[in-house]
Amino acid sequence: MNKIFVPTNNPEDWKPLLAEPEKHWKTGYSAKALAYSWEEANDFPESVKKVFISWGIALFKNVELLLAFPEYQVPLPGGSRPSQNDIFVLAKGNDQLISITVEGKVSEPFGDTIAEWRKDDSAGKRKRLKFLLKELELEDNKEINTIRYQLLHRTASALIEAKKFRALNALMLVHSFSQSNECFEDYSRFLNLFNLEAKPDSLVFVGTIEGINLYLCWVKGDPGRTRTKDARQFDPHHHNVSRSNPLQKNTQGIRIG
């Protein structure tokens, strides 16, 4: 992955960073809804802040977004394909760093279950799954087969980046713009692995893994964002474009070292 990043100017700057821009950058899809929501806020969107505050966890009560990187890739063993997170956020709460991976959703599924994903068995997939389960301190059992692969590697990505930045905390956040909470059942099943109950607009503490406090969160965003058509509906008055803009995009083709 590239290591040099530059600030964004508007939500449309996110489009070229997508794995398949023409396929995923459409009105009604999560990529566009997420970009407009976070870019206009130039911070955590209000829907996210409300959940952070309402659940009374001190770490998130006055959390500060330091940097945010759209379409952030986290390399994983067992193959060349990384985990491409919709947003990676480095934040601070109670003078502690927080590594946050954000997964946007409208009606898009979380992809294959583990059973479906590993049907085409290979040494690389076995190596990757073993790594992900170790990162999350989970067992390879029947329950794992029903879990969506994307939820595993997105959550593991938050822990991996926490180690990189020496953050004591990691959060995997699903930012859903679905009015009917589509795919919530898959998220709930994932939390059941940790003996936790999932609720929309909730923030839960999973436990401490290798010295890192892991949290999971589901936020219901403004469904009106799924009707955003283009940059003409972007409100620049809520977005301060400057060299200190915390929302960053990956610079294509520039790398040092």
pLDDT at 231: 41
For residues 198 and 19, what is the distance between their CA atoms, to the nearest angstrom? 30
The percentage of residues in the chain with a pLDDT greater than 70, rounded to a whole number, is 88
For residues 99 and 91, what is the distance between their CA atoms, to the nearest angstrom? 7
pLDDT at 68: 97
The answer to whether the CB of 175 falls within 8 A of the CB of 188 is: no
Tens-digit pLDDT profile for residues 106-133: 988 999 999 999 998 899 999 999 999 9
Domain residue ranges in the chain = 44-219
Average pLDDT over residues 43-63: 96
Tens-digit pLDDT profile for residues 189-211: 999 999 999 999 999 999 999 99
Tens-digit pLDDT profile for residues 72-93: 999 999 988 999 999 999 999 9
Residue 204 or residue 229, greater confidence: 204
For residues 240 and 4, what is the distance between their CA atoms, to the nearest angstrom? 21
Which ranges in the chain belong to alpha helices (H)? 21-24, 30-41, 46-54, 58-61, 114-117, 123-136, 142-145, 149-164, 184-192
Instruction: Extract the tokens encoding 134.
Output: 């170790």
Sign of CA dihedral 184, 190, 192, 194: negative
Instruction: Extract the tokens encoding 98.
Output: 């927080």
Show Cβ contacts of residue 160 under 8 Å, excluding neighbours closer than 6 positions.
74, 135
pLDDT at 126: 96
| Nearest alpha carbon to residue 184 among 113, 109, 117 | 109
For residues 166 and 186, what is the distance between their CA atoms, to the nearest angstrom? 30
The answer to whether the CB of 152 falls within 8 A of the CB of 83 is: no
pLDDT band at 252 (very low <50, low <70, confident <90, very high): very low
| Nearest alpha carbon to residue 225 among 88, 53, 47 | 47
pLDDT band at 18 (very low <50, low <70, confident <90, very high): very high
> How far, in Å, are 109, 168, 170, 192 from residue 197 at the CA level?
20, 24, 19, 6
pLDDT at 233: 55
pLDDT band at 230 (very low <50, low <70, confident <90, very high): low
